[in-house]
Amino acid sequence: MQTTSPWAAHSATIVAIEPDYAGVSTYHLRLTDTAVRAAYACAPGQFNMLYLPGVGESAISVSGYDAANETWLHTVRTAGCVTTALERLGVGGHLALRGPFGVSWPIERQPRDMLFVAGGIGLAPLRMAIQWAIRERTHLGRITLLYGARTPSTVLYPQQLNEWQQQGVDVQTTVDRFEPGWTSHIGVVPALVERLNLRPTETIVFTCGPDVMMRYTARALIARGVARTAIWLSMERNMQCAVGFCGHCQLGPAFICKDGPVFRYDRLAPYLDIEDL
């Protein structure tokens, strides 16, 4: 969506809310103005600033598009003032949206294997890229998703994971803690990388999740022969302005909101390897 100012906010309505698990829901937002709605466009990996007057705003990745209802999906964890207020609005509630912002995933038709690696709610920023890969799979190599959650009850989009599997994606899931009925892997995501049937020189990797997961996932992939320049990651920091003015999301010389959130691994490796930075 092109606007005259990155500060321009547009009215949006909550059309539907899908509860994912305790404290996490996916909101279907429809832009109110028809002209704005028609002009809006978002690439996989970008984010919006969701604004609630009198409360504040929060950076939320766009996790999908429902063409039938003309709604953009945002998967939100209730964790602060803005997201708590958003939860209270409910279906029919109104808020403001500005964006989209940020660098998207480098998706392109190439006969390479696509490996998606996600941890927890980090699957949300990857969702649109995975859906794109499924639509374009005749032009790509193998499509694989490695996904880890804390427990089986906190697996994000479980129904969609099954659908992706049926659509030809090799979906492998793991959890940190076992619960009765769980039949898949137990352990950390990087362990899945070590067991993966990988073609390292023909693979491009998109990963999003906790920093520690991405750090060790990248190391495991590099040890298997994947080039550092073939690994892309999406960073999460406290983004308050979305245009690099406030400095809250600075990591080394980069601003996550403006220069990211998607970065090639070799650019951020010196900073990603510093714990708690």
User: Whole-model pTM?
Assistant: 0.94
Looking at residues 77-91, what average pLDDT do you find? 94
Supply the CATH classification number for the domain 10-101.
2.40.30.10
Q: Where are the domains of the chain?
A: 10-101, 113-272
More confidently predicted of 139 and 244: 139
Looking at residues 155-170, what average pLDDT do you find? 97
More confidently predicted of 202 and 110: 202
Supply the CATH classification number for the domain 113-272.
3.40.50.80
Residue 270 has pLDDT above 90, yes or no: no
Average pLDDT along the chain: 93
Confidence of residue 2 (pLDDT cuts 50, 70, 90): very low
Which residues, at least 6 apart from 190, have a Cβ–Cβ distance to it below 8 Å? 213, 216, 217, 219, 220
More confidently predicted of 2 and 268: 268
Nearest to 60 by CA among 43, 77, 37, 81: 77
Nearest to 102 by CA among 60, 153, 138: 60
CB atoms closer than 10 angstroms to residue 87: 15
Give me the DSSP letters along 28-86.
EEEESSHHHHHH----TT-EEEEEETTTEEEEEEEEEEETTTTEEEEEEE--SHHHHHH
Looking at residues 109-125, what average pLDDT do you find? 95
Amino acid residing at 269: A
Distance CA 133, CA 122 (A): 17
Helix, strand or coil for residue 127?
A: helix
Helix (DSSP H) and strand (DSSP E) numbers for the chain: 8, 15
Max CA-CA distance within the chain? Answer: 54
Q: In 221-246, which positions are buried (b, 16+ CB within 10 angstroms) versus exposed (e)?
A: bbeeebeeebbbbbbbbebbbbebee
* Segment (H or E) for 14: strand 10-21
pLDDT digits (tens, 9 = 90+) for 186-234: 999 999 998 999 999 999 999 999 999 999 999 999 999 999 999 999 9
pLDDT of 252: 83
